[in-house]
Structures are given as C-alpha cells and as structure tokens.
Structure 1
Amino acid sequence: MNPPVVVTVAGTDSGGAAGIAADLTTFAALGVHGACVVTAVTAQDTTGVHAIHPVPYDVVAAQLDAVLDDLDPVVVKTGMLATPEVVRLVARRCADRVLVVDPVLVATSGATLASAEVVAAYREHLLPVATVATPNESEFEALGRPDGPGVIVTRGGPIATTNDHGTGCTHSSALAAQLAHGADLPTAAARAAAYVARQLTLGRDWTLGRGRGPVAHVHATPTQGETA
C-alpha cells in the first residue's frame, strides 16, 4: 500500500532542529511520505535566528501547485509562512484539505518571526479554514487567544531538558502524520504528544550546540507500528 502524503509549507532551519528538517524527519518516522514547499530560508542555530530570507511568492506558489496537483496530499501542515501573501495563498489553495496550522510567529528564544501583517492574515484568512492550529503560548496571545476544539496550545512538557529546539514543529508534524493515518483529532493529539515526549526524553542529555539543543530526530527502530 502507498503511504499517505503530507506536505509541509514552511521555512528551513540551518541547524536542523526545526522547520522543514523537523517536519520531514517526523513524517518519515511516523510512516507518511513528506513533501515540502519552502517559504523562507533562515540562518538559525541553537542560539537563535540570525537571518530570514523569504522565498519569492511566485516560487512558493509554483511549489505548492506542483505538490497539490501531482501528489494530492491528504494533509497540509504549515510552519513559517513569512509573508501575508503566502498566508493568503495557503488559505485559498488548501481550505478543502485537512490543514494543520502551526503559526510560527514567535521563536522559543523570544525572537519575533512574523510581522503584524502576517499575524493579521493568519487571523483573517488561515485560522478560519484550519482543521487544527498549534500555537505556543506567545503565539496564542499574538493571535488574540482564539478558542475552539481546533486550537491546541503547545506548552513545555514534563520532560526536564534544554534540548527542546524544534518541539513545536515536531509536535505539529506528528499531529499531521496521525491525521493522515486516519486518526480523529483527540487521538491524533494524544499520540503526537506522546511521540514528542519520547523524543525529548531520547535527546535530553545531548550536548549539541551552545544554546537550546534540538529535540531528538533520530530513531533507532521503526516507529510506524505506533500509528495504527
């Protein structure tokens, strides 16, 4: 049988902890085929975000059209969308699909990753068509504290570790993978939380980088069996 397809529409992380790197490794670990649409290239490491280069709108749109028209993903997962035009593009093109919105607005380090115009576009265009949104607490406040069963605020879990860079991306990607396998939202959310807790435990004693290290994206054994 073919694996389900999930596409991430997000930015890169040169440190490999968050963004598309986190999304694709999580998809693979949980038994889905990951496609990607790159919206921004960042200079990023464990100490913070040092530069952001948005990908031109027409290139983002061409990537999205290519994936939607050829691979027909069952779930679309968003991360950093970089510009209000891209936010509106995703809302327009993906409203009829299962849509997991991780509104990447504020980094764990506190760095602001989105303008007021991008935040407004999320509120007005993307959140109304999302199946589920997974803001962190700062993003939840920035979005005006949206309510409803489709909003899951990601918070620090019970795992004592400073190796948590990429936790939000990993959680939303795991949630998207579980939905792609046919789980309902409460089940998918519970499985995603358990997956993130396990990966945080796996990497809690690592010493990678000079800042907040990455959540573990290595897997000693296949994990597809956990999705059923």
Structure 2
Amino acid sequence: MAKQNRLRNTKEKKGAKNKNRKPASKGKGPSQTGLFLKKVKAFFLDERLHKSLGLLLILSSLYLFISFTSYLFSWKIDQGHVRDENFWSFVFSGEDLDIRNWLGKLGAYTSHSILYGGFGIGSFVIPFNFGLWAIRILFKKELLPIWKTLSISLLGWIWLSITFGYFFTSPYDFMGGVFGHETSNWIVTAIGDVGMVFFILFTGLIATVILF
C-alpha cells in the first residue's frame, strides 16, 4: 500500500508539473517590416527596372544633346519667344511660333532654361554623363571611370560657367548662363578684374592637379 501511495503521489506531481508547463512557442515568422524591405530590395534589383532606367537615361542624353546643340544655332530667334515665359503656357499654348530649335518648343524651352538660365554651355556635361551611365547600365560596360568622370564634370561645369560668365557678355551671356554671370560679377566686385583672372587660372590649375 505504501508503495502504491508513493507511486500515486509521484504521478500526481508529474501531472501537476505538466499542467503548469507552458507549451513551447512556435518560431515567429518574418515581420511585416522585413517583408516590405525584401520587396523593396527585390524591386531595385529587378533587371527590368535597370533596363528601363538605362533607356530613360540614354533617351534623355540624346534629347538634351540635340536640344543644346540646336540652341547654339537658333538662340537668336528662339530666345525672344522663350524668355520670361511659363513652361506650360509656352509649350502647350498651341500658338504657332517661329521656333527654330530642332526639338520644337519643348527643346527651345529646355535648352534656354538650362543653358541661358543655368550654367551655360558647360551643361553639355549632363547628356555626356547620362550617356555614360546608360551604357554602363544597359551594356555593363564602363567607357570611363564613372565616379571620377562625374567629379571632373561637376567641377568643370561650375568652373566653365564662371569663366565664360566673365568673358562673355550680352548677347552671348548664355555661354556662362545666369549662374556664371552673377557669380563672376560678385567675384569681380570683391577682388577686381585682375583678381578675377588670377582666380580663374588658380582654380583651374588646382582642379587639374587634384583631379588628374
């Protein structure tokens, strides 16, 4: 009897322990944030996105190059129509204007805004870099070191704008653009014409030494 009682007590204790024991928790699945990040990563790694971006860049490169080149020949006629005009009212007005840019009103407005209203003919670095990136994305070929070329282009863009802004005045002030014209005037006010020439030479030499 004593043995049976001991066995019964032992079983009851084990049963109580099993009741108190919590069931093992199942491993948690991936969180919503993790799933979202995976989808975002998959989206950016999708080859179709890369090809679409490459095509967009190469088309933009060709478009800008053609409109910029055309501007060099048509600016005298187109500038009078484009200057101080609103984008939507000018491009989509339906008014028949004597626009000579090879890409029509949109090309005239784009080239005028970037060349005359921006950084001048140094802006040709934009389609150039777009083309390099497009070739790299579409054909996996690097014609030039991408990041070094981009750095040189950015510095050259600013330097050419200021230099041409100083040497070219109206009506050829589009060579340096508004940025180059205003910046060069500000520098001349501070250090004079002789100082400006030294500034152009000094910054050009420093940039050449650093970048090359």
TM value normalised by structure 2: 0.27
More helix per residue: 1 or 2?
2
TM value normalised by structure 1: 0.26
Higher relative contact order at CA 8 Å, sep ≥6: structure 1 or structure 2? 1
